[in-house]
Amino acid sequence: MRFSVIIPVYNRPEMVRRAINSVISQTFSASEIIVINDGSKDVTGEVVRKLSDTVEIPLHIIEHQKNRGVSAARNSGIKAAENEWIALLDSDDEWKPEKLARQQEFHQQHPDLKISQCNEIWVRNGNRVKKRDIHRKIGGRIFKESLKLCLVSPSATVIHQSVFEDIGYFDESLPACEDYDFWLRALVKYPIGLLDEPLLIRYGGHSDQLSAKYWGMDRWRVKAMEKHLNENLPQDWKIALYEELIAKLEVLHQGAEKRDKPEAEVYQEKIRRYSEELYMLRSLSIL
């Protein structure tokens, strides 16, 4: 197996240095590293260029003159990759040295799987954080389980190029929750393998995380879920989809009403319509 590592970055010079060094330190070497400098306005590009002169692994830099967002950056890297296996790494994350080696072994043992993820360690503001049960990583056909919140971390995954050829790339129209959207589309068709070892360190608490930048993140999760309403899903998946969609719309409706936003009427109408459709689905499942 040959891996292309894709690292999008925007204004994170020290974080991206740590991320790249964690790839260089792998016991099973990647075949190439592609860093997409997404219009950084600081010394991020200079840091990456200096590193590229010192590493043995080919390190390619894609420069965006304008900040286009993480989806566009990831997509550029994936499309430029020369190898059949893609390993995503966010610039604020770090791999343990044996991460690629263990996933390479995992896929040799499970040649039918096109996607896998490892487990992870969370660090927030310098302190290790215990994950809640709702964030527990699982494997298999987990579309239904992933509706409430995203159970797949991009930096934990390796993905065969054929998956992107089949379902498409990250949705560049979404300013946030693009990973939630992508994994729902992938999990409709593909099981995900789980290597239950903490081979990824995820760092949180910094101000430029998307979850800190945007309010009402469920707006984009709703858009992602609505893509699947007309798909031929298993009955229990479809019911779960409607149930979670309505639950998220109710939260958005309450927030919009509280802030006196015009979207409140749109959310209310969707709740009414989707509730009727859910009632019909449940009725059919009883027959």
Place 209 in a pLDDT band, splitting at 50, 70 and 90. low
Secondary structure percentages of the chain, helix, strand, coil, to 5: 45, 20, 35
Supply 9's token pair.
């970055």
pTM: 0.93
* Separation between Cα atoms, residue 200 and residue 118, nearest integer Å: 7
Model confidence over 122-161: pLDDT tens digits? 999 889 998 888 888 999 999 999 999 999 999 999 999 9
For residue 214, is pLDDT > 90?
no
All residues at 6 or more sequence positions from 163 whose CB lies less than 8 Å from its CB, including other chains: 114, 115, 186, 190
For residue 213, is pLDDT > 60?
no
Q: What are the domain boundaries of the chain?
A: 3-213, 229-286
**Half-sphere exposure at residue 283, Cβ-oriented, CA atoms within 13 angstroms:** 6
CATH number of 3-213: 3.90.550.10
Q: Are 157 and 88 in contact (CB under 8 A)?
A: yes
| Average per-residue pLDDT for the chain | 94
User: DSSP label at 230?
Assistant: T
Model confidence over 181-201: pLDDT tens digits? 999 999 999 999 999 999 999
* Separation between Cα atoms, residue 117 and residue 135, nearest integer Å: 14
